[in-house]
Structure 1
Amino acid sequence: MPPKFDPSQVVDVYVRVTGGEVGAASSLAPKIGPLGLSPKKIGEDIAKETAKDWKGLRIARVMSPRSMAKDLSGTIKEILGTCVSVGCTVDGKDPKDLQQEINEGVVEVPLE
């Protein structure tokens, strides 16, 4: 039997979301449910708070300061490498193909 929940306890929950969008409650449920909170309500609160400064942001510019790459194209390729590891696609394309297109200059990446 799990221990009783302490309402005065501070618990940090880390989630990755797109700014201003309500995420799926099913992805929040395993993290929020044991705390006795509503995943749907928490998702709406996250969307409301991130809509101010982070609306729609999900690309490499946010990660650039933490990246070891010299320029933005390197940061983008780092993120695409993570996509390969996770097994997802980017705009319906294989991330390896996008990396190759960046290397060949088919996809234009701004300097900043």
Structure 2
Amino acid sequence: KIREDIAKETARDWKGLRVTVKISLKNCQAKFIIVPSATTLVIKSQKERERDKEKTKIIKHTRNILVDDVIEIVKVMKHRSMEKPLVGNVKEILGTCVSERHTIDGKDTKNLQSDIDEGETEILED
């Protein structure tokens, strides 16, 4: 029963993606909280159509993400980060993009990180 409930919760927005599901029990009632990882949010931000994992074993993503999508991911992940300023949170997500080999607005992610370090690119606090 719990497996079916988790499948229903994740089927809406997270179909085909791996997410962590936090389960809390109160008075024998299970409550599910979906806790996506940074990688899952980066892949979801590409807004690709769903693929059948049985037919396509190796999935290649578009590999390009917009800066606005990175900022949205930062807003979702901010409460889980130890970094206080927004710049640090952005750099954490950019690090995830480096490991997944994504580009940001067509620019190499490592170059964007170094531009932020050198002050050539500014991240405004909201």
TM norm structure 2: 0.50
In structure 2, stretches of 5+ residues that fail to align are 18-40, 55-67
User: How large is the RMSD of aligned CA atoms in angstroms?
Assistant: 2.9
Residue by residue over 1:56-89, the C-alpha shift from the partner in whole angstroms, topping out at 9 and shown as x without a partner, is 8552222222211120000000011111111111
Aligned-residue sequence identity (percent) comes to: 38
Aligned residues: 78
Equivalent-residue separation in structure 2 for 1:88 and 1:22 (angstroms)? 14
In structure 1, stretches of 5+ residues that fail to align are 1-5, 32-55
Letter in 2 for 1:25: E
Contact 2:70 2:93 in 1 (8 A): no
Matched, 1:84 2:79: no
Letter in 2 for 1:74: G
Please identify which structure carries the higher strand content.
2
Q: After the TM superposition, which parts of structure 1 deviate over 6 Å for at least 4 consecutive aligned residues?
A: none
Equivalent-residue separation in structure 1 for 2:119 and 2:50 (angstroms)? 39
The counterpart of 2:119, out of the listed 105, 108, 112, is 105
CA 1:93 to 1:57, structure 2 compared with 1: closer, same or farther past 3 Å? closer
The residue that corresponds to 2:53 in the other structure is: 30
